[in-house]
Amino acid sequence: MEREITEWYVEQISKHVVEALKKNGFNAYFVKSGKEAVNKVLELIPKNAKVGIGGSATIRELKIPDILAEKGCEVIRHDVPGLSPEEQFQIRRRELLADVFLASANAITLDGKIVSMDGTGNRVAAMAFGPKMVILVAGVNKVVKDLEDAIWRIKNVAAPMNAKRLKRNVPCVKDGMCKDCNTPDRICNILLVLEKRPSLTEYHVILVGEELGF
């Protein structure tokens, strides 16, 4: 019973956010599970497309890059082990000009704004301009009330966990709370707020009724 009520609530709040995203010019969809999200991504991406992958725990968790490679897409990703810093840099530049860019958002507000923050900026750059199509997959855990909550979530939920994953030497890794650090390893340097769809980019946002990513 409790589970059914939770699922009902998640669906209601997600539908509200999807409508708000649509009003802001994004194509937006609610799906119940990660599996359905993968199917939606596969439906949207043309065969043989060049697909850039933004650093995203959500996309990795759903194993989408491997599935796309099996489908015949050229997958461009800088987050594979063993690459030199120079190789990663060059791949990040290629991701910016992919046919499709696939990533997640750090937060989506109830009124349909998409909020993300990067240390390097390649992901937020591609989310704003470059690839012809952007597809974002976000778990319902990314939904927040407003812009202020979005920035709080990024600095005190997403960034500490990402910094821990990336083994960064930053204060939030010690206790999970942002100290607005001034360190070379800082991962919160560039804030992107998509209030409306970037005018030259085809945009798809898939909101998933499960907790995914950071």
The residue ranges that bind ligand SF4 (CB under 6 A) are 155, 159-160, 163, 170-172, 178-181, 186-188
CB 105 within 8 A of CB 174: no
Q: Report the nearest approach of ligand SF4 to the CB of residue 154 (Å).
A: 8
What does DSSP say about strands 133-139 and 143-144: parallel, antiparallel, or unpaired? unpaired
Closer by beta carbon to ligand SF4, 98 or else 150: 150
Q: Provide, rounded to whole angstroms, the least separation between the CB of residue 132 and ligand SF4.
A: 31
Residues 6+ apart with CB under 8 A from 149: 107, 109
178 contacts 159 by C-beta, under 8 angstroms? yes
> Considering beta carbons, is residue 112 or 213 the nearer one to ligand SF4?
213
The residue among 25 and 171 lying less far from ligand SF4, judged by its C-beta, is 171
Find the shortest distance in angstroms from Cβ 37 to ligand SF4: 27
Query: Would the CA dihedral through 154, 191, 151, 38 be positive or negative?
Result: negative
Q: Which residue's CB is nearer to ligand SF4, number 63 or number 179?
A: 179
Residues 116 and 105: their CA atoms lie apart, in Å, by 6
Q: Quick one: tokens of 169?
A: 């030497």
| Residues facing residue 52 across a β-bridge | 76, 101
Nearest distance in Å: CB 42, ligand SF4: 34
> Hey, which residues does 75 pair with through a beta bridge?
51
Comparison of 96 and 181: residue with beta carbon closer to ligand SF4: 181
Q: Minimum CB separation from ligand SF4 for residue 48, in Å?
A: 38
